[in-house]
Amino acid sequence: MLGCQQALALEDIHSQGVGSAEEALALVGDDFAGIVISDIRLPGIDGLELLKRLKERDRTLPVVLITGHGDVSMAVGAMRDGAYDFMEKPFSPERLVDVARRALEQRGLAREVWSLRRQLAERDSLEGKIIGRSAAMQNLRALIANVADTSANVLIEGETGTGKELVARCLHDFSRRHASQFVALNCGGLPENLFESEIFGHEANAFTGAGKRRIGKIEHAHNGTLFLDEVESMPINLQIKLLRVLQERTLERLGSNQSVAVDCRVIAATKSDLNELSQASQFRSDLYYRLNVVTLELPPLRERREDILQLFEHFLQLSSLRFDREPPQLDPQTMSALMSHDWPGNVRELRNVAERYALGLPAFKKSGLTAASQSLGFSEAVEAFEKNLLTEALQRSGGNLSQASQELGMAKTTLFDKVKKYGLG
C-alpha cells in the first residue's frame, strides 16, 4: 500500500491509505470527490463487498480492484458489478498512475454532470417549493441550494407553522440521498416510554408487548435523511444515545448487543432557542453543537409581509384545484385584511384561510383578526401591497424601470421615487 501511495504522490495525486474496508467506508461520505483503489483480499469484509456497499451509496464512484493471479476471474465478475477497472499483481507504477488519472477524470465529469442537474432542478423546482420574493426567502433558497448536497447536519429554527418540515424535505430532495427514505419523527408527539423503541428499534421480546423485531426510525433512514421535529422535546437520556449514534454511526436496538451500521443525514427542527436551553441544562450542549453545523432560520410571516399575497394566491390555486372550484377573485377588503393580520399561525394559518376563501367562505371569522393585527393601519397594508406589486413588476422587467412603469401605468419618476422609498433598487 505504501508503494502505491508513493507512486501516486510522485505524480501529485493525493491519496490516503487505510487498513480495512470498514475504515474506507467511514471515510467515503456524500461529498467524497475522489476514487477508491482496493485489494480484493482484505481483513474483515473483502474488496467485492466493499465494491457493493460503495455502489449502493454512489453508483458513479469509480472503484479500482487489485487482484492476485488467481483472482482474475473474480475480478472480471466484479467489472460486471460496476468496478471501474482491475489491476493484476504485480503491476508497474505507471499502470497505477494511468488507471488512477482516468478514474479521477471520470469522477470529475460525473460530479460536474450531477452539479448541473442539481442546478437545473433548483431553478425549476426550489422556487416552486419555497415561495416568497422577500430578501429572507431569497437568502433561504440560496442556503438550501448551497448545503443540500452535503452530509452536514442542519438545524432549522422557526415558529410553529413557518414550514420547517418543507425546508427539511427540500434539503433531502435536492441531495443525492433523494432516492432513499425521508423519515420524519415528531419528538414532542411520543410518550417517553415509547420514544426509545421508536427511534432506535427493538428486538423481539425486548420488553413486554414486543412480539417481534422493530426497525427504528434511524435505521429506517439508512442512506437517507432523518428529520427530528421539535427536537427540544427529546428526553435528556435519549439525547445521549442519539449523540453516540451520530458520532459512531452505529446503533444497538433495544434488547440487542449487536451494532448496526447506519448512514443517515440528520436534520433537526426547533421552535425554541436550543442554545439557551443548553445553558439552562435542559438540552445537551454537545448534541446541540453536533446538530447545528448549519443553521437555517425561518422568519415568521409577519416579518415578511411582502410574501403574503403571493403565498395566498399559491394556496388559493391549489385549494381551488382540490375542491374543483374556480379560483375566486381577491377583493380589496380581503387583501387589506390579509396584509393587516399578524399571522400567529404563520404559513399554516395562511393556507387554512386560503382554503376557506376557495370554498366561498369569508377569509376571516369575526374573531380571526387580533388586536395586534388591527393595530396595523390601512395605509400600512396598502403600502405593503404596493411594495409587492412593484417588486413583481421589477422582477418581470429584469429591473428595467421604463418597462415596469409602462406595465404599471405609472410615471417613471413616480416609480423611481417609490423604488427608493421601499428600498427596491
Q: Which residue has the higher pLDDT, 74 or 221?
A: 221
Question: pLDDT tens across 46-64, in order?
Answer: 888 898 899 888 888 999 9
Q: What is the pTM (predicted TM-score) of this model? A: 0.65
Q: Which residue has the higher pLDDT, 345 or 85?
A: 345
Answer whether 335's CB lies under 8 Å from 369's CB: no
How many CA atoms does the CB half-sphere of 12 hold within 13 Å?
0
Cell triple for 53: 456497499
**Distances, alpha carbon 407 to alpha carbons 243, 330, 397, 410, in Å:** 56, 20, 9, 8
Q: How far is CA 59 from the centre of its chain?
A: 21
Determine the pLDDT at residue 408: 75
The secondary structure of residue 410, as a DSSP letter, is -
Ordered structural domains, the chain, with CATH: 2-113 (3.40.50.2300), 130-299 (3.40.50.300), 302-422 (no CATH)
Q: Which residue has the higher pLDDT, 287 or 388?
A: 287
Answer whether 165's CB lies under 8 Å from 269's CB: yes
Residue 15 CA to residue 357 CA, distance in Å, equals: 62
Answer whether 186's CB lies under 8 Å from 333's CB: no
Q: Residue 356's pLDDT band (boundaries 50, 70, 90)?
A: very high
CA 178-310-391 angle, to 5 degrees, is: 110
Determine the pLDDT at residue 213: 87
Question: Which residue type is seen at 324?
Answer: D
Q: Residue 372's pLDDT band (boundaries 50, 70, 90)?
A: very low
Question: pLDDT tens across 262-305, in order?
Answer: 999 999 999 999 999 999 999 999 999 999 999 999 999 999 98
| Percent of the chain's residues with pLDDT above 70 | 91
pLDDT for residue 27 is more than 70: yes
Determine the pLDDT at residue 68: 77
Task: End-to-end CA distance of the chain: give it in Å, rounded.
Answer: 60
The overall average pLDDT reported for the chain is 86
Cell triple for 43: 481483513
Question: pLDDT tens across 70-124, in order?
Answer: 666 776 777 777 888 888 888 898 999 999 999 998 888 777 767 656 655 555 5
Question: pLDDT tens across 148-200, in order?
Answer: 999 899 999 999 999 999 999 999 999 989 999 999 999 988 887 788 888 99
